[in-house]
Amino acid sequence: MKAMVLKGIYDLAHEEEPLEMVDWPVPDPLEGEILIRVTRCGVCHTELDEIEGRTPPPKYPIVPGHEVVGYVAGRGRHADLFQEGDRLGVAWIYSACGRCKQCLSGNENLCSRFRATGRDRHGGYAEYMVVPQEFAYAVPDAFADAQAAPLLCAGGVGYRSLRLARLEDGRHLGLTGFGASGHLVLQMARYLYPHSKIHVFARNSDERKFARELGAVWAGNTTDQPPRKMDAIIDTTPVWKPVVEALRQLNPAGRLVINAIRKENIDVDYLQNIDYTHHMWLEKEIKSVANVTRKDVSELLDLAAKIPLKPDYQEYPLDQANQALMEIKGSKIRGAKVLRMD
């Protein structure tokens, strides 16, 4: 089969083709695993974190990709939850131990043995992949394969972020950054909190225009002053400046939710601008988002079909994965990016 593989850490300021197309053996599903013939795989900023070494794979080479949609093509022993031909999705959570305190309390995203698709195990930048059957999801008929792919991470972790924001209907929500996750969170928030006003902070004028098209009542630059303070803000950016600016825009007791696996250090000096009185006082909170649970993904897929969510996406053939990644690196984003297996 064809696969795009990562063979080490790359500096994307000087290397624009970190992934290599190779002939890769079709994996055999082990006991409890299913073989998936991949048709689409979303492209996520977390792949950049892997490539640039902020969250490196434990070994190389690795097949990235964790927003996977495909069809059951084989089953290992005792893998009987799905039938051959069923359409399934695979998300960032590849597996967890299921036995530790965190797993038993519903926080499998915090399990010390959490394994990530496309980082700790081979993912969906390939024509086939395997996954434990308990960590695959039936995809609602409401979505084409390419529409469903961004839901598996941008949608799932966005849904978790919205839950952690603890927003009440009628309260004001801010979104800082407006890419694959942000544009889905806005649609979810409008459905779940119809009386809330949503404000978007984005440095790109096209992203601000897109946000207004989707129902944001205001869209400005990262440092612009909105017409009101926010009760909750969700940050989906890879850098620090939006975090500092978001804290300044929170109401007393407001909560900032940081939706990122890692933050880049290109503007880490901006943290020196934090002033306790203006940014942190009056019981403001910061909450990080760590990974995602199966419950998050399942609930998101049900909600997405009910709304229905309409992911905006651009599609690329598998061999153009590097181009899609470099466009994300260069902030050339409108909605999501999805790879197509031909």
Alpha carbon distance 91, 79 (integer Å) = 19
Structure tokens at 252: 């007393």
Q: Strand locations in 121-263, DSSP E? A: 128-132, 137-138, 173-176, 198-201, 218-220, 230-235, 250-258
CA distance 175 to 234: 5
Mean of per-residue pLDDT scores for the chain: 97
Rg of the chain (C-alpha set):
20
**Residues 87-122: pLDDT tens digits?**
999 999 999 999 999 999 999 999 999 999 999 999
- Over 90: is that where the pLDDT of 331 sits? no
Which residue type does 225 have?
Q
**Would you call 261 helix, strand, or coil by DSSP?**
coil
Task: State the Cα torsion 180-184-189-190 to the nearest 10°.
Answer: 120
Answer yes or no: is pLDDT of 24 > 90.
yes
Q: What is the pLDDT of residue 342?
A: 79
Answer for the pair 20, 60: CB distance below 8 angstroms, yes or no.
no
Per-residue burial over 245-268, b if 16 or more Cβ lie within 10 Å, else e, is bbbbbbbeebbbbbbbbebbeeee
- At residue 170, the pLDDT reads 98
Contact call for residues 231 and 172 (beta carbons, < 8 A):
yes
Contact (Cβ atoms closer than 8 angstroms) between residue 128 and residue 27: yes
pLDDT tens profile 119-153: 999 999 999 999 999 999 999 999 999 999 999 99
- For the chain, domain boundaries: 2-153+292-340, 156-288
- For 36-58, how does the pLDDT look when each residue is reduced to its tens digit (9 = 90+)? 999 999 999 999 999 999 999 99
Residues in the chain: 342
Tell me, what's the pLDDT at 334? Answer: 87
User: Does residue 212 register a pLDDT over 90?
Assistant: yes
pLDDT tens string 152-205? 999 999 999 999 999 999 999 999 999 999 999 999 999 999 999 999 999 999
In the CATH scheme, what is the homologous superfamily, with its name and number, of domain 156-288? NAD(P)-binding Rossmann-like Domain (3.40.50.720)
**Pairing state of beta strands 313-317 and 336-340?**
parallel
- Predicted confidence at residue 295, as pLDDT, reads 98
333 — pLDDT class (breaks 50, 70, 90): confident
Say if strands 313-317 and 250-258 run parallel, antiparallel, or are unpaired: unpaired
Domain 2-153+292-340 bears CATH identifier 3.90.180.10? yes
Residues 6+ apart with CB under 8 A from 324: 43, 314, 316, 337, 339
Strand, helix or coil for residue 147: helix
| Distant-in-sequence, close-in-space partners of 101: CB < 8 Å, separation ≥ 6 | none
| pLDDT class of 332 with cuts at 50, 70, 90 | confident
Contact 195, 169 (CB under 8 A): yes
Instruction: Return the residue matching tokens 């399990």.
Output: 111
Close Cβ partners of 96 (under 8 Å, ≥ 6 residues apart): 103, 108, 109, 111, 113, 114, 115
